[in-house]
Amino acid sequence: ESKSEGRNKLKVFDPSTLHARQLQRQIVGELREAIRSDQLVLFYQPIVELATGRIEGSEALVRWNHPVRGLIMPDHFIPVAEASGLIAELGRWVLRAAVEQLRQWRENSLTAQHGFSMRINVSAADLQSLEFVDDVRDALAKTGLPPESLVLELTESAIIQNNELDRYTLASLHRLGVGLEIDDFGTGYSSMGYLRKLPVDAVKVDRQFVQELSKDSTQLGFLAAIQQVIRSCGLQGIWEGIETAEQAEALRSIGCTSGQGYYFGRPLPGPEFTDQLSQQQTWPA
């Protein structure tokens, strides 16, 4: 203990560390302010039925519209939010904004009453918070959305942290009826055995698998095997990072049903994604 204290003291006198800390503190302060003053904005990317091209859902992806620095991508501030404890507040903001957007789409008959789902990304830290389940329940109650129209994306590492609280939170969310999905599947180091044990409904396969598709001919067989494992566990497989028509066709040919990627559409701000939805098709209320 005293040793590490000594190290910390030394660091305080290191001007570059001092600067880094001040910068960090400034960013945290700005981010806190950003959440409260609605500088965050959600972009939406379509999830598509591969056989028909129909939009079957959307993933909400957060950006920070910084007054000076412009649009900041999540990889640059989600880690800051996680490290500073702001992630719970940020997650709440995302949850509320996403369900409100879905409520509006449904109200305007832009999405089918059944089948269209809004996916949001949930941080590992959110599972550690007992309030998270209440937040989700409240968000659904306020908007009157059916629970299955909301799907929570969790990374493998978040979902497999083998602690009591996480398992309790997962079970509670599952009981609420919201969809649970493993994000970035295949990037972790765990065995696949958990697919059969966890209360999850869907698996989003990490984009690295699709992107390696053109490299060699055995890769397609490998993807087919992954899809088969997912299917045999009774789960929906969604393939991430589809950038070309060839990739989409290859995935279709091995029985994949759902995909996401720049080929079908880049993440768009709410109003533009709304246009895309209304051009595609409207459903009777």
Binding interface with ligand C2E (CB under 6 A): 45, 61-62, 73-75, 78, 94, 121, 123, 153, 183-184, 207, 241-243, 260-262, 267
Query: Is residue 153 a contact residue for Mg ion (CB under 5 A)?
Result: yes
* Cβ atoms 188, 157 nearer than 8 A: yes
Contacts 24+ apart (CB under 8 A), 166-174: 166/127, 166/128, 169/127, 169/128, 169/129, 169/130, 169/132, 169/133, 170/127, 170/198, 170/199, 171/199, 172/133, 173/133, 173/136, 174/199
Nearer to ligand C2E among residue 1 and residue 75 (C-beta)? 75
CB of 252 to Mg ion, least distance (A): 20
Nearer to ligand C2E among residue 18 and residue 71 (C-beta)? 71
Instruction: Select from 179, 88, 171 the least CA-distant residue to 135.
Output: 88
Query: Is residue 30 a contact residue for Mg ion (CB under 5 A)?
Result: no
Q: Which of Mg ion, ligand C2E, none lies near 5, with the C-beta cut-off 5 to 8 A by kind? A: none
What is the C-alpha separation between 182 and 235, in angstroms, rounded?
Answer: 10
Which among 114-122, 125-133, 142-150, 263-271 is the span making contact with Mg ion, rule CB under 5 A?
Answer: 114-122
CB of 117 to Mg ion, least distance (A): 13
Query: Is residue 56 a contact residue for Mg ion (CB under 5 A)?
Result: no
Nearer to ligand C2E among residue 79 and residue 234 (C-beta)? 79
**In this structure, what token pair is assigned to residue 77?**
């501030």
- DSSP output for 1-17: -HHHHHHHHHHHT-HHH
Residue 128's H or E segment, with its range, is none
Which among 66-74, 115-123, 164-172, 215-223 is the span making contact with Mg ion, rule CB under 5 A?
Answer: 115-123
What is the C-alpha separation between 107 and 29, in angstroms, rounded?
Answer: 37
CB of 139 to Mg ion, least distance (A): 18
Among 184, 213, 239, 267, contact with Mg ion (rule: CB under 5 A): 184
Handedness of CA 214, 217, 221, 226 (dihedral sign): negative
Among 180, 183, 230, 239, contact with Mg ion (rule: CB under 5 A): 183
Which among 29-37, 106-114, 151-159, 165-173 is the span making contact with Mg ion, rule CB under 5 A?
Answer: 151-159
Nearer to ligand C2E among residue 10 and residue 165 (C-beta)? 165
- Polymer length of the chain: 285
Closest residue to ligand C2E, based on beta-carbon distance: 261
What is the C-alpha separation between 201 and 195, in angstroms, rounded?
Answer: 9
By CB under 5 A, name the binding residues for Mg ion. Answer: 121, 153, 183-184
